[in-house]
Structure 1
């Protein structure tokens, strides 16, 4: 078995997660930030394959309910216990991907799922930690910063907040909470495949209620179908309907209006993908050599000391204004 190696911290961001999923060979899905779980918002995102919830971890605040026992019908669930520091986001993503048969996992992740099917939860966690594919894609988002050991939490050992990711998704007619720090999957009760997010909302609200009113550090993302694929299918459907109509049919005006609206949404989605790609590229780039060269050049031209003096003076004036 390969060495588990080190796992870097990655930013909680839909663009990061979408590129991470694509890097593992999965097709046709993306991550979306969720600001509300109301019916209207969820309708716009359908199909939603699963939710990933970020919260501040506290000792004793584990599962929403007691994990169901293996003999309670969990054999059909991919559940892995977390054995890797810094990888709870990737593990929460895998909890959704590997439990949704309607997602195209690609050959490598499909083989991984088949290979680990009969493993115990702790062995599945070890298998994730030793997967070259999953680890290399995860670590591709390591910060390129020579002043920080990217493979370790810089706050390790300090009295700092620790954040954790868990997944919610429907599996065989029941809503499950999958938390790698728990002993097993938590069955939250029967659910309707079309309205399971309503029940997930209740579970998330219950978890948030455990914290004080001042705690605002929560985040929610949805794994959805690729929006570009959805929009393209809608355009194809409109085009097919228009082909069956005569040129002077009054319905054409409405179809054209619908088509323009979908094309607008598609353009916005493409612009968002371009922005995500640029942000991910910047995340991975090491700017230290450029900064060093800039400072070196300013020093050679005798321009650095005046800039430092000016910055110090501005800082003093700001501090004086606050007093």
Structure 2
């Protein structure tokens, strides 16, 4: 981790939507809440789902019992970046969600996200992290969004326990993207249509690792059809 510290983001679709739209992601792309993991709750999530962001308690029990297979050099075309800024996991998760669906998104090329993506698309995960560290516009957008939540934002100096990760479908696989890991984590086979349901099964495994914890929240990135 670098010495940089950001104010943590709130797990709030309204906050993330304002964030991504300010960076040039169209309003047809939106984050929505996932209210539960059973079939009835999952059926309430608009389809298609392009990515899922999970906020979970990063406890010792969770960290000492990893699931899935880390792929430091994945054979699939996946955009993965390391996290080097403390408390920046929300932005890293957002970048993972949007960048891995860039082929479906009509960006506003006068705004900043597409410029960041273009500048980093051929970089290593470590160099992408370094690019985020030095990107004043991304940093400014993050800090503005961190002040937008419904609860008081933690201080910049505070290390927070909850951690954001992203789940995406790539080439028939369900991948977890966590900037603290050595690479993308492959969990299981999946399809575009089954991404939400299969991610819910993986999240249930997350919860089993530390059943005393209840602070799990989920959001889906969707795109609204015309």
TM-score, scaled to structure 1: 0.60
Q: Partners in 1 of 2:71 and 2:43 — Cα distance?
A: 28
65, 84, 87: which one aligns with 2:68: 65
- Change in Cα spacing, 1:209 to 1:126, as seen in structure 2 (3 Å) is same
Aligned twin of 2:84: 83
Residues 24 and 114 of structure 2 are in contact (CA less than 8 Å); yes or no, is this contact kept in structure 1?
Answer: no
Q: How far apart in 1 are the matches of 2:154 and 2:178?
A: 27
Q: Is the 8 A contact 2:8 2:154 kept in 1?
A: no
Unaligned runs of 5+ in 1: 234-323
Higher relative contact order (CA 8 A, sep 6+): 2
Query: Larger radius of gyration, structure 1 or 2?
Result: 1
| C-alpha distance in 1 between matches for 2:215 and 2:90 | 15
Q: Match for residue 224 of structure 1?
A: 222
Structure 1, residues 150-204: CA drift from partner, whole Å, max 9, x if none?
A: 4322xx4xxxx61101011111221111011111001223212111222111111
Q: Distance in 2 between matches of 1:62 and 1:184?
A: 17
Root-mean-square deviation (CA, aligned residues, Å) is 2.5
Instruction: Report the 3-state secondary structure (helix = DSSP H, G, I; strand = E; otherwise coil) of the residue aligned with 1:20.
Output: helix
Encode CA deviations 1:203-257: one digit per residue, 9 max, x unaligned.
1111110013x3211111111124xxx4xx4xxxxxxxxxxxxxxxxxxxxxxxx
1:137 partner SS: helix
Shift of 1:110: 2.2
Q: Does residue 119 in structure 1 map to residue 123 in structure 2?
A: yes
1:135 aligns with 2:134: no
Verify: 1:21 aligned to 2:20, yes or no: yes
- The answer to whether the Cα contact below 8 Å between 1:52 and 1:220 also exists between their aligned partners in 2 is yes
Q: Cα–Cα, structure 1 residues 5 and 186, in superposed 2: closer, same or farther, change >3 Å?
A: closer
Superposition deviation, residue 38 in structure 1 = 4.3
CA gap of 1:179–1:62, structure 2 versus 1, over 3 A, is: farther
* 8 Å contact from structure 1 (residues 9, 151) kept in 2: yes
State yes or no: 1:103 paired with 2:105: yes
Aligned-pair CA distance for 1:20: 0.8
**Residues 80, 62 of structure 1: CA spacing in aligned structure 2 closer, same or farther, 3 A cutoff?**
farther
Contact 2:4 2:85 in 1 (8 A): no
> What runs of 5+ residues in structure 2 fail to find an aligned partner?
none
Shift of 1:114: 2.3
CA distance in 2, matches of 1:112, 1:36: 33
- 1:164 and 2:163 aligned: yes
Give SS of 1:91's match: helix
Partner SS state of residue 140, structure 1: helix
Describe the SS at the equivalent of 2:106: coil
With normalisation by structure 2, the TM-score equals 0.84
How many residues align? The count is 214
- Considering fraction of residues, name the structure with more strand: 2
